[in-house]
Structure 1
Amino acid sequence: MTDKKNLGRVSLFLATLIWGVSFVLMDLTLNSVPALYILAIRFLGAAVILLAVGARELKKIDRGYIRGGVVMGVILLAAYCFQTFGLPLTTPGKNAFLTSVYCVMVPFLYWFIIKKRPDKYNVIAGVVCLAGIGFISLDNHFAIGLGDGLTLICGFLYAVHMVICGAVVEERSPILVSMLQFAVAGVLAAIMALIFQPAPTHIPVSTVWVLVFLTVMSTALCLSLQIFGQKHTPTAQASVIMTFEAVFGAATSVLFYGETLTLRLVIGFLLTFAAVLISETKLGFFRKKATAASAKETITTESETVELNQTGGNNP
């Protein structure tokens, strides 16, 4: 069991690392392949891979699977479109951090849908997140750039996708649901690509390998790693690990993309990261530490009292 827990944590870290690197790879790929063609290749390729993995479970597919797969596929494609079209208009690091705000948005969406009020940690996270977005995106005229704006819409759609995913996946195979949503997103992306964008005439070999990486590693493998990792890792720990996707994205952008880190951008990144941590963990780690310290102090005090009683202590 301990080995599975450790492997679960490693799986989540690996998934976040691959996703973080993918922000820069996507930006580079857009130089030679139109966005919709990239999405079509990624989603259809991932659907085929998951079809091979979950072939034995195909008999489980019913109307519920199909309905959920269609809804999730449409929303997933919309989110990726906003993210991918926003990426060339901003930087991979900003794109990564602004995308991560979906974690903060989810509780407020639940409030809107099922009337469940966000707790105080969600509210605090929302305020901190807004401050982080301001430092990252607002210019001297307090306006948000087009690329950052598109990325924020992407973050909202990811939050919607997560809420719907929670309802669809319940008592259903995650592999089958993912396969169906990838298939729907891939087919729609291919149709839109043929209608709205010119087909790429020359794709460099290096770009082909990047597309293979994005399809196999960033889409199909990372999903499997996430599912396995979350199954064998406590929710609070899994949430903390998943927030590092934005950190890896920003680090890769600085190291390999040449993004310049200004003080204002660093503050924005730190605030956004803190907001996600607050929303996902509710500062459980610090509260547990405080509880443990209080318990230790109580035990020490009781031990001293017993010792004083045994030796006469300060009795007159």
Structure 2
Amino acid sequence: MIKFVLETHKHTLGFVLILITALCLGTGPAVIKEVIVSLSPATQFALRFTIAAIILTPFVRNLNLNLLRDGAILGVLLFVIFATGTLGLETAYANQASFIFGLNTIFVTLFELLFRKRLSIRMILAAILAFTGIGVMSWQSGEALMGDFWLLASALSDAAYIIVLEIFSPHHSPIPLVTIQLWVVALLGILWAAPEIIENIEAIQTSLGLLIYLGVVATALVILCQTLAQQWTSAQDTAIFLALEPVFGAIFAFLLLGETFSTRSFIGAAMVLVGIILILIRPKIDSSDSALPQLQESTVTDVTVLKGEVLIGVLSTEGEIEKLV
């Protein structure tokens, strides 16, 4: 029964998992802002991914070379995404970070166009609406901070990650694939933070609860849900649906950090939701599209037949096969 439900509703389940991913991702910037008050970005980063990798390691089965290769490629992309995002949060507001990271929606669409994959007008319109909505939500007067550029690099890397994950995820079990990624990121993070970890022992103990949350929920659960979901959803659908993350990010930034959520942000959020609805409403298949093409009678009047050959002609109106010699 469970297997039947999964098979018949796997596309819907994929959207539910992406929604969970967006919700958990939305909590990340606010929590990270709290942690990096006492911990360096590199230390927070290394501990977060180490915790996530340790949590999933006992469930890993059936490793092979293809799995290790694909997991390592995704792990490097994942490192770039979260490292640049962490650096950006040193100077950017948490809600602003969520909005800039949400630009991965339009980057995925641009990558798909670059690779000349077929995109519907509905898909392009949804991406434009989501991108415009994110722009409305994140627009602020004044000069851009360096953190904004780090966050832009994070969004660009995430778009590449979404497309590559769409290719790799159907070929592997989700837990081993995710665990390999997490260990790649954790090891790179430890190398990055090695000089600072010992100096931050006391701060680590103080922030241990938040680090566990980041590792288990905002990292392991997020990447696992997205990896599983992209076995059933396309990269474009995933990117559009993840456009909800800035909305959740702004809400949590307001609740946890007191960062304001203006009227302009609500307008942008509505535009993002419209884009998502365009993805969820799928056009019905016209029954005429599935009909077999009708055979037409040959108009050839003069047929030259080689020795020993027989041409089987067209069906007559009575359903009989005429032989042309």
* TM-score normalized by the length of structure 2: 0.71
Residue 219 of structure 2 aligns with which residue?
219
Residue 322 of structure 2 aligns with which residue?
none
Report deviation, 1:117: 4.7
Residue type at the aligned position of 1:80: F
1:28 aligns with 2:25: no
Alignment equivalent of 1:80, drawn from 64, 82, 86: 82
> 129-138 vs 213-222, which deviates more?
129-138
Residue 73 of structure 2 aligns with which residue?
71
- Following the alignment from structure 2 to structure 1, what is the Cα–Cα distance between the partners of residues 71 and 100? 26
Distance 1:269 1:94, change over 3 A: farther
Q: How many residues align?
A: 279
Report deviation, 1:233: 9.0
- Following the alignment from structure 2 to structure 1, what is the Cα–Cα distance between the partners of residues 157 and 212? 26
Distance 1:198 1:155, change over 3 A: farther
Partner secondary structure for residue 74 of structure 1: helix
Distance 1:10 1:187, change over 3 A: same
Residue type at the aligned position of 1:178: V
Report deviation, 1:238: 7.7
Residue type at the aligned position of 1:284: I
CA contact (8 A) 1:82 1:150 kept: yes
- Following the alignment from structure 2 to structure 1, what is the Cα–Cα distance between the partners of residues 36 and 249? 17
Residue 177 of structure 1 aligns with which residue?
177
- Following the alignment from structure 1 to structure 2, what is the Cα–Cα distance between the partners of residues 161 and 185? 14
> 247-256 vs 227-236, which deviates more?
227-236
- Following the alignment from structure 1 to structure 2, what is the Cα–Cα distance between the partners of residues 109 and 237? 14
Alignment equivalent of 1:284, drawn from 281, 284, 297: 281
Distance 1:106 1:233, change over 3 A: closer
Residue 103 of structure 2 aligns with which residue?
101
- Following the alignment from structure 1 to structure 2, what is the Cα–Cα distance between the partners of residues 229 and 139? 34
Alignment of 1:252-267 (within 5 A): 252-267=252-267
Residue 304 of structure 1 aligns with which residue?
none
Residue 187 of structure 1 aligns with which residue?
187
Alignment equivalent of 2:43, drawn from 20, 33, 37: 37
Of all paired residues, the percent bearing the same amino acid is 24
Report deviation, 1:258: 0.7
Residue 305 of structure 2 aligns with which residue?
none
- Following the alignment from structure 1 to structure 2, what is the Cα–Cα distance between the partners of residues 160 and 232? 18
Distance 1:175 1:195, change over 3 A: same
> 239-248 vs 29-38, which deviates more?
239-248
- Following the alignment from structure 2 to structure 1, what is the Cα–Cα distance between the partners of residues 119 and 199? 46
Distance 1:198 1:154, change over 3 A: farther
- Following the alignment from structure 2 to structure 1, what is the Cα–Cα distance between the partners of residues 127 and 99? 14
- Following the alignment from structure 1 to structure 2, what is the Cα–Cα distance between the partners of residues 273 and 154? 23
CA contact (8 A) 2:136 2:268 kept: yes
* TM-score normalized by the length of structure 1: 0.73
- The higher radius of gyration belongs to 2
- Following the alignment from structure 2 to structure 1, what is the Cα–Cα distance between the partners of residues 222 and 68? 23
Residue 207 of structure 2 aligns with which residue?
207
Partner secondary structure for residue 202 of structure 1: helix
Partner secondary structure for residue 89 of structure 2: helix
Distance 1:124 1:198, change over 3 A: farther
- Which structure is higher in helix share? 1
Deviations 1:162-192 (A, max 9, x none): 1112222232222222111211111111112
Partner secondary structure for residue 62 of structure 2: helix
Residue type at the aligned position of 1:93: N
Distance 1:234 1:82, change over 3 A: closer
- Following the alignment from structure 1 to structure 2, what is the Cα–Cα distance between the partners of residues 74 and 23? 21
- Following the alignment from structure 1 to structure 2, what is the Cα–Cα distance between the partners of residues 135 and 259? 17
1:46 aligns with 2:57: no
1:250 aligns with 2:250: yes
Residue type at the aligned position of 1:108: L
1:150 aligns with 2:155: no
After superposition, the CA RMSD in angstroms is: 3.5
- Following the alignment from structure 2 to structure 1, what is the Cα–Cα distance between the partners of residues 246 and 123? 19
Residue 131 of structure 1 aligns with which residue?
132
Deviations 1:263-311 (A, max 9, x none): 3343344444544x26xx44626x67xx9xxxxxxxxxxxxxxxxxxxx
Distance 1:127 1:196, change over 3 A: farther
> 120-129 vs 98-107, which deviates more?
120-129
> 205-214 vs 127-136, which deviates more?
127-136
